[in-house]
Amino acid sequence: MATQPLPTLQTPRRPRFLMRWYYWLLLVIAAGYGLAFAMHWDDRGVLWLRERLETPAERQQSVWLPDYRAVIDAKLLPGMEKDEASDLSYDPQTKTLFSVMGKNPFLVELTLQGEVLRKMPLVGWTNPEGVTTMGNGLIAITDEREHMLSIIKVDASTRELRREDFPKYDLGPSKDQNKAFEAIVWDPRNQQLLLGEERPPALFSWKSDGSQTLKGDKQKLASNELDIRNLSALAIDPRTGHTLVLSADSHLLLELDEKGEQVSFMTLLGGFNGLKKTIPRAEGVTMDEAGTLYMVSEPNLFYRFEKQK
């Protein structure tokens, strides 16, 4: 008698659109990483952990950015819709702010509430990106496109400024010629200008006696603590001497101590630190002697932050 073959069991095939569970897991992980990268959580996560280790005494001796809240949020600078606010600096003698506009070069003086006092055309500049007051009417301006630093003189009667009338200094080449020296701030404690390259972020110092004369050449500083995607602007806290580093791409303001080590940070995303919306392109930051923070964002937005007691 012939033996009948055993029937073959047919295993039902899963529909093609049903992927194995680990494929879904990989997709979730990839999506999560993409979101974290886009929102720059990788920049802030490490900083947040470091902040938790700061003692109350250390917080008192620092700026401590987490305690700041916006009291003027995205105020429009009138008449500057087609310009690009590129930096901001506080003048302790006039109690006003100075900002440079990069698209149509001019210097503007503002009140501490963001009201425009006067505009001064910058004749001869092509792309002014950084500005800092040095006292006695002296203001240093960087031209990112031409890799040039100028130290100008401004008084109450100034209505226009011509670059050919003032000393100029060559900043030299940058690793990325199109992302060069965008930031500058006067450091009165150390009698030097602090310069910042946009990308890759880097810091330099240039000695001065506070006049229109610079000494020697610029010196590169250690930049290991710059966990940011780009460097947009610099500020010095006149009370502690700590450096504030602004990054538009990371939506981040970072505090460094006198050794260049990270102390605290403030996120510039909507819903944090009193901001209703994310600061779109933060390009300038400065601080006054009372510890009040001021920022400008392209094209023409003004912000003021105060520390909550």
Residues 51-97 pLDDT 10s: 556 667 677 789 999 999 999 999 999 888 888 899 999 999 999 99
Report the percent of the chain where pLDDT is more than 90.
Answer: 71
Amino acid occupying residue 255: E
Average pLDDT, integer, range 166-190: 88
Strand partners, 90: 97
Q: Is the pLDDT of residue 280 over 90?
A: yes
DSSP-based three-state secondary structure for 17: coil
Is residue 163 classed as helix, strand or coil in its secondary structure? Answer: helix
What radius of gyration do the chain's Cα atoms show? 25
Which pLDDT score, from 0 to 100, does residue 17 have?
Answer: 47
Q: Is the dihedral of CA 264, 268, 272, 275 positive or negative?
A: positive
Model pLDDT, residue 25 = 56
The pTM is what?
0.85
Q: Is-cis flag, bond preceding 299, omega within 30?
A: yes
Q: Are 204 and 193 in contact (CB under 8 A)?
A: no
Give CA separation, 268 vs 1, 51, 99, 129, 200, in Å: 86, 17, 20, 20, 21
Whether 10 shows a pLDDT value over 80: the answer reads no
Superfamily of domain 56-307: TolB, C-terminal domain (2.120.10.30)
pLDDT at site 175:
72
User: Which residues, listed in sequence order, are joined to residue 260 by a DSSP beta bridge?
Assistant: none
Average pLDDT, the chain: 87
257-280 per-residue burial string, b: 16 or more CB within 10 A, e: under 16: beeeebbbbbbbbeeebebeebbe
Domain boundaries, the chain: 21-53, 56-307
Q: What is the pLDDT of residue 56?
A: 72
Could you give the count of Cα atoms lying within 13 Å of 306 in the half-sphere of its Cβ?
A: 7
pLDDT at 44: 58
Q: Are 145 and 130 in contact (CB under 8 A)?
A: no
H/E stretch holding 131 reads strand 128-135
pLDDT above 70 covers a percentage of the chain that reads: 81
Residue of 210, 137, 124, 207 whose CA lies nearest to 168: 124
Q: Return the residue matching tokens 């990069």.
A: 102
